[in-house]
Amino acid sequence: MANWKKIGVVVVVGAGAWLWRTFDTSRSDVADDTMPLSQVKITDAAAIKRGEYVMRQADCVACHTAGQGDFAGGYVIGTPFGDLISSNITPDEETGIGRMTESDFFNAVRQGIGEHGLLYPAMPYTAYVQMSDKDMHDL
Ligand code: HEC
């Protein structure tokens, strides 16, 4: 009798995992998971232009600059429990996100999984969760 319960639990957990994987649009199977962003050479001019368009729509630069529009972060968001500081998202390996792969970048922007764990929702990843793979790639 007890075995049926165990089997039931396994089936329910398995089905749940499958549904999660199927309907979780934020994960990507196309994003590159091998090359650090600092090494990526982008030559497709149309993709660069599209990426800038996506960036302006999503207004990444509003937060990820302290005023120079340079993506170097440092913008301070004051909250009742302390200041939150936006990250440097330049491709620099030391100070930016140059060590992240494209796949890491997708996970940070769409799921809030940053280099040091879960990001504060001051980074509005819930607003980006439905961004397409193409938009993310060009971005
Ligand atoms: C409303 C302000 C805001 C906007 C808009 C915003 N971000 Fe962020 N972002 C943040 C903050 C604040 C953090 C740091 C959160 C933390 O440290 O927990 C962050 C963190 C990140 C990280 C993680 C960096 C790391 O080292 O883990 C990435 C990548 C990122 N943002 C990319 C983007 C991109 C790309 C966009 C546009 C699509 C964007 N952000 C728009 C505020 C913002």
Query: Which pLDDT tens digit goes with each residue over 2-15?
Result: 799 999 999 999 99
Nearest C-alpha to atom 41 of ligand 1 is from which residue?
Answer: 60
Instruction: Give the span between the Cα atoms of 127 and 16, in whole angstroms.
Output: 24
- Residue 110 Cβ inside 6 Å of ligand 1? The answer reads no
Q: Classify residue 21: in a domain, yes or no.
A: no
pTM: 0.86
Tokens 């994960």, located at residue:
27
**Complete DSSP assignment for 40-55:** -----HHHHHHHHHHH
- Could you tell me the residue range of the domain that residue 90 belongs to? 29-138
Encode pLDDT of 72-109 as tens digits: 999 999 999 999 999 999 999 999 999 999 999 999 99
Mean pLDDT value across residues 63-69: 94
Q: Which long-range contacts (CB under 8 A, 24 or more apart) does 22-29 make?
A: 25/129, 25/130, 26/106, 26/107, 26/110, 26/111, 26/129, 26/130, 27/106, 27/107, 27/111, 28/103, 28/106, 28/133, 28/136
63: tokens are 């937060």
Amino acid at position 44, single letter: D
Q: Classify residue 7: in a domain, yes or no.
A: no
> Above 90 in pLDDT, residue 29?
no
> Above 80 in pLDDT, residue 27?
no
The confidence score (pLDDT) of residue 73 equals 97
The confidence score (pLDDT) of residue 2 equals 74
Mean pLDDT value across residues 111-132: 93
- Residue 37 Cβ inside 6 Å of ligand 1? The answer reads no
Q: Classify residue 6: in a domain, yes or no.
A: no
Q: Classify residue 8: in a domain, yes or no.
A: no
Amino acid at position 139, single letter: L
120: tokens are 């504060």
- Residue 63 Cβ inside 6 Å of ligand 1? The answer reads yes
The confidence score (pLDDT) of residue 28 equals 83
> Above 70 in pLDDT, residue 1?
no
- Number of domains present in the structure of the chain: 1
